[in-house]
Homo-oligomer: A and B are copies of this chain.
């Protein structure tokens, strides 16, 4: 490793350390957000969301916890976005207004997608377009961008000159020497930045498990070409809505083989529109047809590109398979290409989708059969190459679960870094670099707990509500309302039972009646003494007695909710 040099030696103050705080993205794939703080100057790189885990029913998504920035809003000099995927832009509508509306900086396509999404929200935000050749000065921070490849065009890495040295954030990246509708990653610039000295490199760990080099989009195109060449029926290709370069390939191939192409799925149509307007997607004049015209052309002359390769409930492919799509039914002889990976957790749904397609006589081609998808993240050789080009003094593996970052650290060791200089911490863990260019992982931890978004609520759902949802999901609920005469302390009439998700009340009269009797016994027992009745105790007692009774009869544990009302 060469020694690192600072670009701004004059500003160095022995008082201030550069603080690097990865607020999200270090214990998950998603909600990426990193804070860089030097004295009273703060910049933020990325502001993403994370999709919920399986034990979070009903949650829409999770955003980073921005509590560390509370009271420091006025210090925020800007928010830089590396590319337009939701795990990097998704929290913008929620956090930017809360942080005093700092300016967002992004390249052209990234800006277009952020701005479009912002239309769904009330607060206007300021977004400035940066070019990859720009140099951006945000107080003490001197920022450059470098082009990287990913599964969406216009992605950048960010080099941040600071008073203590240069810190580089790769963003999501891979090296593709023959990308489609994109330039190869700017290796020359990366090398130049590296040669000028890099104090710390924050590099993408998402695919650190996979040996070798990333697949080039050209390989994918070759395979897709072969499919197009040999397919006589309709081609339906499902992929991620932001995978502009894949969509570009499908357009080119459709043109080559004389097919019209229709795009379906709101997010995909929107992205295509933005990319086309901004010149990131090229097509001939009459290639694109609206989805309601696909049946006007012979099957062999049609390509449909759509969302839903993950088996998402309401997405286009699922509606096609279920026969719920207005214009597209599966035809015998259709070829369906799953041009995507399967996001962990979606395997079963995707299996069901394939099954439905085979049943209707379609042919399915997916990635396990032939490379029809390339991931967007650097594999092991790319990661090593990035380290070798940047030659950083310190490596901070970001983007990914602990074990992915751990494996990334192992790669760094393989190319000669000392593990002492690789920081594999957790979300919120503050990393400091002093004026001598010495870094350390401190004991300080910024808040980093999940902030869950559910409907209009942001952060109001906690573990208790989630746990209740899990219990309700497992065995349902059983409410029992008892009215007590406040004078006689006797139960008026019969307790009333409302149950959902547990048993059919109508088919289980005996069980319900026996339960009511248990409740009356509890009340009778509690009120037959000459003391003031403790109704809170009575309710607990009802909960216990009814819960045990129902379990003994059914071996199920519905949530028992006793309501006792004195009138």
Contacts and interface: CB of A to CB of B under 8 A. Distances in A.
Interface of A: 27, 53-54, 57-58, 209, 344-345, 347-349, 351-352, 354-355, 357-359, 364, 368, 401-403, 406, 454-457, 460, 462, 464-466, 468-470, 472-477, 479, 481, 483, 492-493, 496, 498, 500-504, 507, 553-556, 559, 561, 563, 565, 567
Contacts of A364: 403
Nearest to A347: B344
A556 B53 contact: no
A498 B543 CA distance: 14
Most buried by B among A468, A500, A553: A500
B473 A473 contact: yes
Nearest to A342: B347
Contacts of A368: 209
A187 B469 CA distance: 53
B481 A476 contact: no
Interface centre among A53, A556, A559 (most CB of B within 10 A): A556
Q: Which 5 A-B pairs have the closest CB atoms?
A: A455-B555, A473-B473, A472-B472, A358-B403, A57-B473
A522 to B, nearest CB: 18
A472 B470 CA distance: 9
14 contacts: A54-B349, A358-B402, A454-B475, A454-B556, A460-B504, A465-B476, A465-B503, A465-B504, A477-B500, A481-B565, A493-B567, A498-B563, A563-B563, A567-B567
Contacts of A465: 476, 500-504
A364 B401 CA distance: 14
Contacts of A477: 472, 477, 500
B507 A567 contact: no
Given A355-B402, A498-B479, A507 B460 contact: yes
Nearest to A53: B348
A360 to B, nearest CB: 10
Contacts of A54: 348-349
Contacts of A502: 465
Contact of A503 (B457, B466, B492, B561): B457
A468 B555 contact: no
Given A347-B344, A503-B457, A476 B483 contact: no
Given A358-B403, A476-B58, A500 B556 contact: no
A527 to B, nearest CB: 17
Contacts of A345: 347-348
B460 A469 contact: no
A544 to B, nearest CB: 17
A158 to B, nearest CB: 27
Contact of A344 (B351, B473, B501): B351
A83 B297 CA distance: 53
A406 B286 CA distance: 38
Given A54-B348, A57-B474, A402-B359, A504 B457 contact: no
Nearest to A353: B403
A403 B553 contact: no
Contact of A455 (B348, B500, B554): B554
Contacts of A504: 460, 462, 464-465
A504 B454 CA distance: 13
Contacts of A27: 355
Contacts of A565: 481, 483, 493, 496
Contacts of A476: 58, 465, 468-469, 472
Given A465-B503, A501-B465, A554 B492 contact: no
A403 B355 contact: yes
A300 to B, nearest CB: 22
A297 to B, nearest CB: 28
Nearest to A405: B358
A565 B484 CA distance: 12
B347 A58 contact: no
A485 to B, nearest CB: 8
Contacts of A349: 54
Contacts of A355: 27, 401-403
Contacts of A352: 401
B561 A479 contact: yes
Contacts of A473: 57-58, 469-470, 472-473
A50 to B, nearest CB: 12
Given A348-B345, A358-B402, A479 B563 contact: yes
A58 B476 CA distance: 9
A565 to B, nearest CB: 6
A268 to B, nearest CB: 24
A416 B496 CA distance: 67
B456 A555 contact: yes
A58 B457 contact: no
Nearest to A401: B355
A364 B404 CA distance: 12
A348 B344 contact: yes
A208 B476 CA distance: 39
Contact of A554 (B357, B457, B553): B457
B500 A472 contact: yes
Given A455-B554, A465-B476, A472-B501, 18 more contacts: A27-B355, A58-B474, A354-B401, A355-B401, A357-B403, A358-B402, A457-B555, A460-B507, A465-B502, A465-B503, A469-B473, A472-B500, A473-B473, A479-B479, A479-B561, A493-B567, A500-B559, A563-B563
